[in-house]
Amino acid sequence: MSADNRDAFEVWSEVLGPEAGTSETYEARLKNRTLPLGNVDRAAPPPATPLLQAKRDRALRRHLHPTAASDPPTKKRKSSKRVTARITEPLAWTQVQGLHALWTEYIQDVLQLRDMTQAAAREQLEHAGWVQSLQQAVIKADWTGAMISVVRSIQPTHVHKRGILVQETHDMLALLLPHPSGTSRPQWIPKYQTVFQVELPLPDGGRLGIDVHGTQLRYALPVRATRKHKARKTIELN
């Protein structure tokens, strides 16, 4: 190695330290090659502000000493912490009938069914726009206290079950079914691959039965109220 190359190798070793490698590495990879350098005429960047420097220090500490506590909570961890206490104790049928009466007044006000008769509802069902708006309003409404039937389900034992909804979670509905003893435990029905029928009482004693697919309900009420759902024309008048 010539004196010039030896001087260059010494400078290279001082800059990189142990990462510079041996003289053979220098000869093979760097000898007689042009290395791009930074623009020496460019002004140095301004010093970091105290806030930015503190942020850099925190990032460096997290990188050098990672801990579970320092990691920001991910969406999966956040959702795993949301635990809803389910109703499991027996409830009296007469106890929830009052809830159903309150829900009837609520849903008639929300859907403007106070003055609607069976004959008027039969005429409105001929208009696709009214049917679609009714379905959207029902999906976005609170169902607690509604009379609900299971029309179709991936679990055959759930079909034809009919009761009052006493609790709703992200993926389940709790229905209290009438029992000869007058008291029973709520039965939890999964929303997935299930079709429910919501009964909308009319003032003259009739009712509208609206089928709602469980996939349209797989959200909590606040989220469901802001989403737009695909209409499915399945409405019965009894």
The fold of the 91-226 domain, in CATH, is: SH3 type barrels. (2.30.30)
- Written as six digits, the tokens of 191 are 């929303």
The greatest distance separating any two alpha carbons of the chain, rounded to the nearest whole angstrom, comes to 108
Q: What is the pLDDT of residue 50?
A: 86
Mean pLDDT of the chain: 80
Helices (H), 87-226: 93-110, 118-124, 128-140, 221-224
Phi, then psi, of 164 in degrees rounded to 5: -95, 130
Q: What confidence tens digit (pLDDT) does each residue in 106-147 have?
A: 999 999 888 888 888 888 888 888 888 888 888 888 999 999
Name residues whose C-beta falls within 8 Å of residue 168's C-beta, 6 or more positions apart in sequence.
Answer: 143, 144, 174, 217, 221
Phi, then psi, of 67 in degrees rounded to 5: -135, 155
73-82, 115-124, 158-167: which range is least confident on average?
73-82
Phi-psi category of 160—alpha, beta or left, where left has phi over 0 and alpha has psi -120 to 50? left
- Better pLDDT: 62 or 35: 62
For the sheet with 187-190, list strands across it: 187-190, 172-176, 162-168, 147-153, 194-201, 207-213, 235-237
Q: What is the pLDDT of residue 103?
A: 95
Q: What is the pLDDT of residue 200?
A: 92
Residue ranges covered by each domain of the chain: 91-226
Q: What is the pLDDT of residue 68?
A: 58
Average pLDDT of the segment spanning 207-217: 87
